[in-house]
Amino acid sequence: MANSTNNYNGALQHPIGSGFDAASTATDVIKGISLQGKTAIITGGYSGIGLEAAKTLANAGVEVYIPARTIEKAAGNLAGIPNVTILEMDLMDPASIDAFAEKFLALNKPLDILINNAGVMWTPLRRDARGYESQFSTNHLGHFQLTARLWPAIKSAQGARIVNVSSWGHHMASIDLNDPNFDHQAYDPSVSYARAKQANVLFTVELDKRAQAHGVRSFSLHPGAIAVTDLGRDIPEEGFRALGVYEEDGSFRHDPYNGYKTLEEGASTTVWCATSPKLANIGGVYCEDTEVAAIDQDWQGFKSDKFEMTKGVTAEAVNGEKAQQLWTLSEKLTGITFAVS
């Protein structure tokens, strides 16, 4: 039985001495860890840090399943990587998520690692078929549904890990549980993104509390600011400039200790959360720089005139009451009772 302590209100948000840091890579963190015979699902595992994580795990002997909206694009990006199977899925389409989960469950394989990595960022206002705003639908609700549907396979792995890729961006706004889909307020792409990323952290807190009795632990993380991914396809260049990802000469900024990372460095925290033995008896925590983060005690709210990435997780994002409320709301919006039993 795993340690039953939960991370409500940041009870476990303390660095643990991982032995790694902001410049560690995915390959560094997996050295010496036996993963032969393990099975993983990675959403968005065919581009950006998801692809880097998929490559790292597949090369270490993990059988990796990649759900993809566009099979051809995924196949092209994953060409030459062993142990990879691509199956169709669209996170904004509930029927598509159910169909993917059914296909996977029919394989009767335990699911050792689920990495909820796919995401969209700062998109114009779009809605799914239910009328739900696309960033909340893709980044949170789709992953909530996927995790719920895959639960039998996760539970049967006896020691599975669920990794939810969040972002430092969760600092930039507070989730609105009364109007998550911008039905009654003006839409702001950066606010919507921040709320969805806060939802990833809150989901992790509550999921870990409920799932650890079954030997399942959950983690959220900030990978770093990485310019060379598909995530920012809707962001104009001046938006990226405001985030500080470019040097004056126009090249990408590489400054891992201040949060600006390569893909290999960006994927390290994901892979560490999914595999590190040091995390065997902890969960529900937000991680960054290949380490458990501290609470960002100095955070005073976002100031748009001066962008600066701080370290740590906001107290609000690990609030136990909010985590419970988001779970209830997610069940209501998806129509799924996620009974962790």
Q: What is the spatial distance between Cα 39 and Cα 110, in angstroms, rounded to a whole number?
A: 7
Using only the alpha carbons of the chain, give its radius of gyration: 18
Q: What is the spatial distance between Cα 92 and Cα 123, in angstroms, rounded to a whole number?
A: 14
Q: What is the spatial distance between Cα 69 and Cα 195, in angstroms, rounded to a whole number?
A: 24
53 Cα distance to chain centroid: 12
What 3-state class would DSSP assign to 161? strand
Q: What is the spatial distance between Cα 120 and Cα 230, in angstroms, rounded to a whole number?
A: 9
Q: Which residues are catalytic?
A: 193
Task: From residue 45, give the alpha-carbon distance in Å to each of 65, 204, 279, 285.
Answer: 9, 20, 23, 22
Q: What is the spatial distance between Cα 119 and Cα 69, in angstroms, rounded to a whole number?
A: 12
